[in-house]
Amino acid sequence: DTEVTQTPKHLVMGMTNKKSLKCEQHMGHRAMYWYKQKAKKPPELMFVYSYEKLSINESVPSRFSPECPNSSLLNLHLHALQPEDSALYLCASKPGGQGYNEQFFGPGTRLTVL
Amino acid sequence: QKEVEQNSGPLSVPEGAIASLNCTYSDRVSQSFFWYRQYSGKSPELIMSIYSNGDKEDGRFTAQLNKASQYVSLLIRDSQPSDSATYLCAVNMRAGGTSYGKLTFGQGTILTVHP
């Protein structure tokens, strides 16, 4: 298995809803990432998990809450989002540790906040 | 100065021509450089990585790195309409001394290959 999977592909939610995005990889990668991408902009880093520990939080609002239950799974819990949070949410993974740093992206979840 | 800058597009080339995409970066100690291709509505796809000065070839793609000039480029030979996409340059930069770093992207260059 050489891919990163993400579910759901599309999500529409209201500002009072609670939802979660899921990311899974079975490549034995030990670093996993959440990115947010707005239209016509590059991906913007949100969180990094390294060896299942949160390593980087790019000053993301608390309405986004990441979770890494195990080395293969990464969740992003969403609560009380704003319409401006509508974007493509990308998960990526890479082998952990020093050395080469190729990151592989999942297909993304297209989120719309009404 | 932006951390990673790409030549502003859009870039339009005829089918069969060479497309040249350029990128400069600000962190002199960066060690890892990547080119991603992103089709409209899809996620970024890694097409080239380069770590040493010089050229690296993979099929129709050649990545070139010059660390002294802090410059990395991507050449696409025999361009095809299917190469039409946004190309993102990404540089792995230091993040507080951590080993996993932080991938910083340029703004992207839109390439159109017309028949």
- Report residue B103 as tokens: 């991938």
pLDDT band at A95, cuts 50/70/90?
confident
> Parallel, antiparallel, or unpaired for β A53-57 and A44-50?
antiparallel
The single-letter code of the amino acid at B29 is V
Whether A4 contacts A24, CB under 8 Å: yes
Q: What is the pLDDT of residue A100?
A: 62
Mean pLDDT of chain A: 92
Cβ-based contacts under 8 A for chains A and B: 58
pLDDT of residue B94: 65
CB B61 within 8 A of CB B111: no
Verify whether the Cβ–Cβ distance B43 to A56 is below 8 Å: no
Q: Are A91 and A23 in contact (CB under 8 A)?
A: yes
The low-confidence residues of chain B, meaning pLDDT below 70, are 1, 94-101
What CA dihedral angle connects B82, A94, A37 and B112, to 10 degrees?
A: -20
Please tell me which residue of chain B has the smallest CA distance to A89.
B43
Whether omega before B44 lies within 30 degrees of 0, making that bond cis, reads: no
Q: Is A7 left (phi over 0), alpha (psi -120 to 50) or beta?
A: beta
Of residues A102 and A63, more confidently modeled: A63
Can you count the helices (H) and strands (E) in chain B?
A: 0, 11
Residue B9 has a pLDDT of: 81
Query: Which is it for strands A109-113 and A10-13: parallel, antiparallel or unpaired?
Result: parallel
Of residues A43, A88, A101, nearest to B32 (C-beta): A101
Q: Enumerate the residues of chain A whose CB falls inside 8 A of the CB of residue B108.
A: 42
Note the pLDDT tens digit of each residue in A8-52. 999 999 999 999 999 999 999 989 999 999 999 999 999 999 889
Test A48 with B102 for CB contact under 8 angstroms.
Answer: yes
Residue B10: is the preceding peptide bond cis (ω within 30°)? yes
Q: Is B49 close to A108, i.e. CB distance below 8 A?
A: no
Token pair 């060896």: residue? A51
Residues of A in contact with B45 (CB under 8 A): 105
CB-based contact, A2 to chain B, within 8 Å: no
Please give the pLDDT value at position B98.
55
Q: What's the pLDDT at A83?
A: 96
A4 CA to centre of own chain? 11
Q: How confident is the model at residue A99 (pLDDT cuts 50, 70, 90)?
A: low
Nearest to B110 by CA among A90, A41, A44: A41
Report yes or no: A27 at the B interface, CB cutoff 8 Å.
no
Which CA distances in Å does B8 have to A43, A67, B109, B113? 17, 37, 6, 16
Kindly identify which residue of chain B lies nearest to residue A98, measuring between CA atoms: B99
Check if the beta carbon of residue A77 is closer than 8 Å to that of residue A65: yes
> Does the structure show a pLDDT above 90 at A1?
no
pLDDT value at residue B65: 97
